[in-house]
Structure 1
Amino acid sequence: MGNHCNLFNFPLSAPFACSGGIAATALLCMQTPSIVSPTALEAIVTSGANVGNVDATSNLLHDKVYIFDGQFDSVVNPGIGPKIQQFYGHFISDTGHIKTVFDIQAEHGQPTDNFGGPCNKLSHTDFMLNCNYSAAFDLLNFIYGGHLKRPNAHTSPAGKLLKFNQEVFFYVSTPSMYSMDDIGFIYVPSRCLDKSRSCKLHIAFHGCLMGQRYIGENYVSHAGYNEVGELNNIIILYPQVIKSLTNPQGCWDWWGYTGILFATKSGFQITAVERMLSKVLGL
């Protein structure tokens, strides 16, 4: 069905591998930019690629990266955004392939142009922010070269938002063992319901406290991706995480609660998502 894939998540988190597999360090990575060394993280990634724990860094050479960092973010210090920019700048050949949005007075959450609470106020209800700005459109439009059709107030997602069973993507365990939900969501645009049509695929990773167990379908229905996907033939995959004893806020694993493989391509969560991707792409 799909033939191209990209990934993104909101809200902003710390740089890749910054936690070192330690929860306390993860908190420092979010709140203390001065301790974050992009050079050290670049070395970790390069070393990991050399031994096969992550794919070759040359795969990043021509990629595009979008970084949103709200000026009023009280959860992740706004100074983290430039650190992430520096990290990716080491691997990407063209600085024009990195877009930063650091000038919006947004709190920690998903910026939208028509849904959520005040942009500059932290919404503990669902972390959805009405910023009169569609981050979903801006990032996808940037990634795809600036020529996507922009949704307006009258755009309706006429396709299907479907639930699917995440359990089938775990072969020797249950999803809950790795803090993943039994169900995930996928939005299939109306023109992509015909499986013979070639469509693109975007994987949207929700933030902490933003899975369906916490906020229902607010994220998967109102983040703005479905409208963009509908107009531009982009399927949106929404894998889901739940809370656990070692993951009390339902975050994706970026500090090692699923084990030492968490930041490698053999990590349990990313392996399951890769299987979802392969299923959608028909691989």
Structure 2
Amino acid sequence: MFNILILGVTGVSAATLRAYNVDPGLVSVSGLSSGGSMSVQLGVAYSETFKIGFGAFAGSPYDCARNQSYADCMSNESPLITTPTANMKSWSGNEISAVDNIESRKIYIQVGSADTTVGPNVVDQLNTQLSSFDNSANITYVTTSGAAHTFPTDFDASGNNACTDSTSPYISNCNYDGAGTVLQWLHGTLNPRNTGTLSGTIVSFDQTGQYGAPGMDTTGYLYVPAACQGSSAICKLHVALHGCVQGYSQVGSTFIKNTGYTMWADTNDFIILFPQAIQDNKYYTIFGGKKLSNPNGCWDWLGWYGTNADQIGGVQMVAIVNQVKQITNGYQGNSSISTASSSKTTTPSSPTGATSASSSAGSAEKLINKKQAILALCGLDLLLILIFA
């Protein structure tokens, strides 16, 4: 049984985001579902900022919804990736960072075998798309056996749902340490996580101005371990993006506390940045011309807030990149610091319940199709209740 530390948010009101001694060459990002898709967007469009790489838990292919219905990018469909991949190539070095950067980035991809909200077929296409740009040795693709649409952990935490359920808060004990696995894939072998009382603090910051954008909350959060609160230690930065219905305004600090990112951060000199999206009931014209609101606080993978939502200049991505730049602005080291600085102790083992995508490609659990998903949720608009949760 792990001891989950109940951490309070410091300060009565959110403070100005401060700089820390964080190496800008040691920055990575991961997220669940809409957060996974946003991680892919950030990792592709801003690969010069996320120099380590990115991780996607149940994320869709890059630019998936621009030239096809967003419903084709979820519900275990097999979305087309020819045009999105061609866009990556034609935008390279202009609308997005040079795609040649991707070849040297570490990429982590995960999906639950029983996920019917996004689904293995969608994630298969993400893997295929990214594999055409990256060295295969840099990509790991994991299917977690029996897991639904949820962030997988290997410990119980108050309020979490069962691994087989796609329900709030979309975090589950699936006998698979998602946070630890993605961090170790991206950054290399790490010290064992802290399963007891954590040393650090959750810090709230003002997520407005250059650090905010439409569809984002006014407050964001950092987990800062004790070692990173001063200036002596050179720390790493990982951005952890919640999914829909997982923002602070909806589930409080559950995503921050229950996913396990902070446990690994505490013993490995990571600052974890938790940007926050928020519900938006206004209707916008998304990719493809459909009018749609964002009532579940999803990250923008549909073009709610501009046709450049997944390109350089996309307002939510700009806000997150500005947060990263401010945090790393206190770096006191030099460029000789290795971007693969991971000569720590324990090597991650293969967690129970995880199988490779290749071994599970023919799984009988890949049964649901788009029509079944829509019928089950009584209409496409209601599908947003679970869309990229």
| TM-score when normalising by structure 1 | 0.91
Give the superposition deviation at 1:78.
1.7
Query: What letter corresponds to residue 31 of structure 2 in structure 1?
Result: N
SS in 2 for 1:99: strand
Instruction: Please give the alpha-carbon distance, in whole angstroms, between the structure 1 residues aligned to 2:126 and 2:77.
Output: 10
SS in 2 for 1:31: coil
Pair 1:113-2:133 in alignment: no
Describe how 1:11-30 pairs up with structure 2 within 5 A: 11=33, 12-20=58-66, 25-30=69-74
Give the superposition deviation at 1:77.
2.0
The corresponding residue for 2:28 is: 6
The corresponding residue for 2:116 is: 74
Instruction: Please give the alpha-carbon distance, in whole angstroms, between the structure 1 residues aligned to 2:199 and 2:176.
Output: 22
Query: What letter corresponds to residue 145 of structure 2 in structure 1?
Result: I
Query: What letter corresponds to residue 69 of structure 1 in structure 2?
Result: V
Tell me if the contact between 1:13 and 1:30 (Cα under 8 Å) persists in the aligned partners. no
Answer 1 or 2: higher relative contact order, Cα 8 Å, separation at least 6. Answer: 2
Instruction: Please give the alpha-carbon distance, in whole angstroms, between the structure 2 residues aligned to 1:229 and 1:195.
Output: 17
Tell me if the contact between 1:21 and 1:256 (Cα under 8 Å) persists in the aligned partners. no
SS in 1 for 2:115: coil
Instruction: Please give the alpha-carbon distance, in whole angstroms, between the structure 1 residues aligned to 2:74 and 2:101.
Output: 27
Query: What letter corresponds to residue 17 of structure 1 in structure 2?
Result: D
The corresponding residue for 2:300 is: 253
Instruction: Please give the alpha-carbon distance, in whole angstroms, between the structure 2 residues aligned to 1:137 and 1:82.
Output: 22
Correspondence for 2:90 among 43, 47, 59: 47
- In the alignment, structure 1 segments of 5+ residues that lack a partner are none
Correspondence for 2:309 among 252, 262, 265: 262
Instruction: Please give the alpha-carbon distance, in whole angstroms, between the structure 2 residues aligned to 1:210 and 1:9.
Output: 11
Tell me if the contact between 2:200 and 2:266 (Cα under 8 Å) persists in the aligned partners. yes
Give the superposition deviation at 1:92.
0.5
- In the alignment, structure 2 segments of 5+ residues that lack a partner are 1-20, 34-57, 282-292, 331-389
Instruction: Please give the alpha-carbon distance, in whole angstroms, between the structure 2 residues aligned to 1:221 and 1:169.
Output: 26
Instruction: Please give the alpha-carbon distance, in whole angstroms, between the structure 2 residues aligned to 1:91 and 1:226.
Output: 31
Give the superposition deviation at 1:158.
1.1
SS in 1 for 2:59: coil
Pair 1:60-2:102 in alignment: yes
Tell me if the contact between 1:112 and 1:129 (Cα under 8 Å) persists in the aligned partners. yes
Higher helix share: 1
Pair 1:185-2:221 in alignment: yes
Decide whether aligned partners of structure 1 residues 103 and 222 sit closer, same or farther in structure 2, where only a CA change above 3 A counts: closer
Tell me if the contact between 2:222 and 2:273 (Cα under 8 Å) persists in the aligned partners. yes
The corresponding residue for 2:140 is: 99
Instruction: Please give the alpha-carbon distance, in whole angstroms, between the structure 1 residues aligned to 2:134 and 2:260.
Output: 27
Structure label with greater radius of gyration: 2
Query: What letter corresponds to residue 2 of structure 1 in structure 2?
Result: V
SS in 1 for 2:233: coil
Identity of aligned pairs, percent? Answer: 29
Instruction: Please give the alpha-carbon distance, in whole angstroms, between the structure 2 residues aligned to 1:32 and 1:138.
Output: 24
Instruction: Please give the alpha-carbon distance, in whole angstroms, between the structure 1 residues aligned to 2:192 and 2:130.
Output: 27
Per-residue CA distance 1:124-181 (angstroms, 9 max, x = gap):
x311111122100001011112x112326x33321111111101425xxxx4x61100
Pair 1:216-2:257 in alignment: no
Tell me if the contact between 1:210 and 1:219 (Cα under 8 Å) persists in the aligned partners. yes
Correspondence for 1:85 among 127, 134, 137: 127
Per-residue CA distance 1:186-225 (angstroms, 9 max, x = gap):
0011111112321000001110111001111000111110
Instruction: Please give the alpha-carbon distance, in whole angstroms, between the structure 2 residues aligned to 1:81 and 1:220.
Output: 24
Give the RMSD, CA atoms, in angstroms: 1.6
Give the superposition deviation at 1:21.
7.1
Decide whether aligned partners of structure 1 residues 21 and 184 sit closer, same or farther in structure 2, where only a CA change above 3 A counts: farther
Instruction: Please give the alpha-carbon distance, in whole angstroms, between the structure 2 residues aligned to 1:16 and 1:133.
Output: 26
